[in-house]
Amino acid sequence: MSNRFRAHIEAELAGIAAEGLLKVERPIQGPQGAHIKVGGRKMLNLCANNYLGLADHPELTAAATGALEESGYGMASVRFICGTGELHAELEARLAAYLGMEDAILFAACFDANGGVFEPLFGPEDAIISDALNHASLIDGIRLCKAQRYRYKTNDMADLERQLQAARDARFRIIVTDGVFSMDGTIANLPEIARLAEAYDAMTLVDDCHATGFLGPRGEGTHAHHGVEVTLLTGTLGKALGGAMGGYVAGPAPLIEMLRQKARPYLFSNALPPAVVAASLKALDLVEAGDDLRARLFENAAYWRSGLEARGFTLLPGEHPIIPVMLGEAQLAQDMAARLFELGVYVSGFFYPVVPKGQARIRTQMNAALDREDLDAGLAAFEQAAQELKVLAA
């Protein structure tokens, strides 16, 4: 690397830091759970995607350990060469059945699933109509595709219909949305999306990363929550389904087969390690029988939301376990997160460009492993930090 280029990058980083937008990573020690250890301190964890509390579940650890002993550390190959094990095929079949789809295909991450799903299926004659707040991976996947692009305002069904009308001359149309918008906890209006899709002969793709495992009957996701059918589902094994890694696309068998033949992140990435696949299969067992975990998760979410509202915090409305505490400015969100860290609560501030300017927040996330004592301690810490930083009205 030349000195000139190094200096250029260092100046860019200095600018990010000066704006208060530099992201800081704090390594944790030990497993991901309701509590984590950071720098030797025990912290209450209110910001993980560990919705059902399965990331440190002993049955998942045992399944992963057994697979390590039986199948080794890694596959050392892509799927179509010699990277497909019996466990991979079993997990794909289980995911398809669980989600009510004909077939499913595994990827290294849902970012790869979303990055690889569009280009093999759609060309210049087709149209993709995408929600404005869709996840970055969907945006990047759509950019890699040569289809015509249309964008509609978030969850705005009138604007969606306008974009569908604008795309009426396309050969094929597909509406793309997050099932749950991760920064807001807002659930997509799938009933109306499905109605418009039928009216305009369009398909639907839903990224259900923040829903699979806990939203809807048996945790099947936003489509089950609303009782509607969608064409394609993408999702992750890295949140409610054990918290490790891996993503998938589920849908009609011919579409999944086309992805096996042409999706570049699938063709050119190593297969998921056997330990991850075996633990994911065990996670599905626990999730399918996990009504008690789902009930506890939503009880925690309701209690946490009502506690924050009673103390005067500004929240976005909703029912999802993602509960953003709105603070407005980036520096305030970072100061609040830093003070909460000092008080033993692990959260992160989110600010532009992750969220729009002026809408900085702390995104809190509930999980089923939290108990009432944890939540009360978290509420007390939030109240103390907010009073010290004058977030709450006197």
Catalytic residue set: 182, 210, 239
Torsion of CA 365, 370, 372, 376, to 10 degrees: -50
Contact between residue 345 and residue 44 where contact means Cβ atoms under 8 Å apart: yes
Contact between residue 106 and residue 246 where contact means Cβ atoms under 8 Å apart: yes
Residue 123's alpha-carbon distances to 119, 227, 251, 296, in angstroms, are: 7, 31, 19, 45
**H helices then E strands: how many in the chain?**
14, 15
- Rounded to an integer, what distance in angstroms lies between the CA atom of residue 130 and that of residue 148? 11
DSSP reduced 3-state for 80:
helix
Amino acid letter, 310? A
Q: Read out DSSP for 178-202? A: ESEETTTTEEP-HHHHHHHHHHTTE
- Rounded to an integer, what distance in angstroms lies between the CA atom of residue 182 and that of residue 138? 13
Tokens at 216, concatenated: 């809807």
- Rounded to an integer, what distance in angstroms lies between the CA atom of residue 364 and that of residue 387? 18
Whether residue 353 has a cis bond before it, omega within 30° of 0: yes
Between helix 190-199 and helix 157-166 the angle, nearest 10°, is: 20
Instruction: Tell me the H-state helices in the chain.
Output: 3-18, 58-71, 86-99, 110-116, 136-143, 157-166, 190-199, 222-226, 253-262, 264-267, 274-288, 291-310, 330-342, 372-388
Neighbours of 59 (CB within 10 A): 13
Q: What angle do CA 264, 266, 268 make, to 5 degrees?
A: 65
